[in-house]
Amino acid sequence: MFNVMDYQYIICHYGEIALKGGNRRFFEDKLVKNIRLQLEKFAPDSFELVEKIHGRILIKLRKKYDEKKLIEALQNTFGIVNFSFAMEISSEIKKIETASLEILRNKNFKTFRISAQRGDKNFPLDSQEVNKQIGALIVKELKKKVKLENPDINLFIEITSKKTFLYCEKIQGPGGMPAGTGGKALALLSGGIDSPVAAYFALKRGVEVDFLHFHSLPFTGKESLEKVNQLAKILEKFQGKGRIFFSPFAQIQKEIMVKTPEKFRVVLYRRMMMRIAQNLAEKENYSALITGDAIGQVASQTLENIHAVSEVSKIPILRPLIGFDKEEIIAIAKKIGTFEISILPHDDCCTRFVPKHPETKSKISEIKEVEKNLNIKKMLAKSLKEVELIA
């Protein structure tokens, strides 16, 4: 007999990684490493080891563990599709029968299903035969009914060569790809709602993300800088610490305001931001830029203006939110924990010196003609010298 609350393992499953062919081991090893780092950071006293076996990842638990901290850490680890607190026994059918009875005897249910998966082909019964044998035992001993669709409880039995794992609940993971498997990108983080969510989606695809924030000090307060630091801190739980670059932008805005027509200011601001970001990205070896643009949300995000802004960058600009509406973005911001920080009041460079009637359908030929009034090369060089790195 054993106490069914004494789980010995968490068993983690992944999905897309299994389709990676010859690169699969790289992604698996990275996920194992990321799980270990997450647990060391958020639940260090709750586990003993993390290991990979037979298409799954096992976390061996200590006798005393913090379930809440473990769940939170794993739900923030990209690459995990689902995970379960599991019992471990030896792979013998009699022991599987006994353990199954003991687990279900302590549950409140009327209908059930057995979902066996035989990873060890030397085991004498195949998966369907295990389902039938264990199911018949539960019907006989506990007087419960089998129901394959939407049962009250589902007992999962995973049989490997030496160990069998039993569990009744799958906890949803975040999915995606392991952090650090998708290259490096630089996210333009404004302090608003959209850009942290855009960074989150890049992180979900395994991209390692650092941050660039443009500010208008001394014409604005330090609130936007403080917000960006807090937002980056929240996003750390998905990838570890990311670097933050702060770029002064007030003088560039003033020069654009004085020397160019009012209606083009927004696009000109954005083009200068992209020039600075792209040059910084090339210097620091980032493969792409990330923005929170969504089509039509504001004047700078019409297709025409997005085209005009993108034209100055030599590297890809990723826009994970391009087809989202605001309510969808807000819902995700609340889910990942950035919303309450993002809505704190602050003045940022995107709201300073904004025209009353901005151009929404810019033509690149017109923009280039207007930019002849600016010393782009000088402005860019000065700005890059003033970028400050927060390690």
Kindly indicate the confidence band of residue 351, based on its pLDDT and cuts at 50, 70 and 90: low
- Of 84, 44, 83, nearest to 64 by C-alpha is 44
Are 83 and 200 part of one and the same domain? Answer: no
Q: Are both 237 and 319 inside the same structural domain?
A: yes
372 by Cβ neighbours in 10 Å (0-12 / 13-18 / 19+) ranks as exposed
pLDDT attached to residue 253: 92
Query: Residue 320 belongs to what domain range?
Result: 184-390
Strand runs labelled E in the chain:
9-13, 47-53, 56-61, 82-90, 111-118, 145-146, 153-159, 163-167, 171-172, 184-188, 208-215, 244-248, 288-290, 317-318, 388-390
Lowest-confidence pick of 97-111, 216-230, 288-302, 349-363 = 349-363
- The pLDDT value recorded for residue 281 is 97
Q: Is the pLDDT confidence value at 322 over 90?
A: yes
Whether residue 177 is contained in a domain is answered as no
The pLDDT of 193-218, averaged and rounded, is 95
Identify which of 290, 308, 286 has the alpha carbon closest to the alpha carbon of residue 299.
308
137-192 pLDDT, tens digit per residue, is 999 999 999 999 999 999 999 998 889 999 999 999 999 999 999 999 999 999 89
pLDDT tens track for 36-68: 999 999 999 999 999 998 789 999 999 999 999
Quote the tokens at residue 259: 């020397």
For the chain, the domain total comes to: 2
Q: What is the pLDDT of residue 355?
A: 66
Cβ contact 40:50 at 8 Å: no
pLDDT tier at 391 (50, 70, 90 boundaries)?
A: low
Sign of CA dihedral 18, 20, 21, 26: negative
Answer whether residue 250 shows pLDDT above 70. yes
Q: Using the predicted structure, report yes or no on whether residue 382 has a pLDDT greater than 70.
A: yes
Is 38 a member of any domain? yes
d(CA 51, CA 117): 20
Mean pLDDT of 244-257: 94
Give me the pLDDT at residue 64, please: 92
Q: Is residue 2 part of a domain?
A: no
What is the SS3 assignment for 2? coil
Residue-level pLDDT at 307: 94
Q: Which of 138, 172, 206 is the last residue of a domain?
A: 172
Tell me: do 198 and 302 sit in the same domain: yes
Backbone angles phi, psi at 53, to 5 degrees: -145, 130
Residues 1 and 98: their CA atoms lie apart, in Å, by 8
- 267 and 232 within one domain: yes
Are 168 and 61 in the same domain? yes
Domain annotation covers residue 266: yes
pLDDT for position 353? 60
**Residue 352, pLDDT score:** 55
Binned at pLDDT 50, 70 and 90, residue 21 comes out as: confident
Q: Is 266 helix (H, G, I), strand (E, B) or coil?
A: helix
145 and 195 within one domain: no
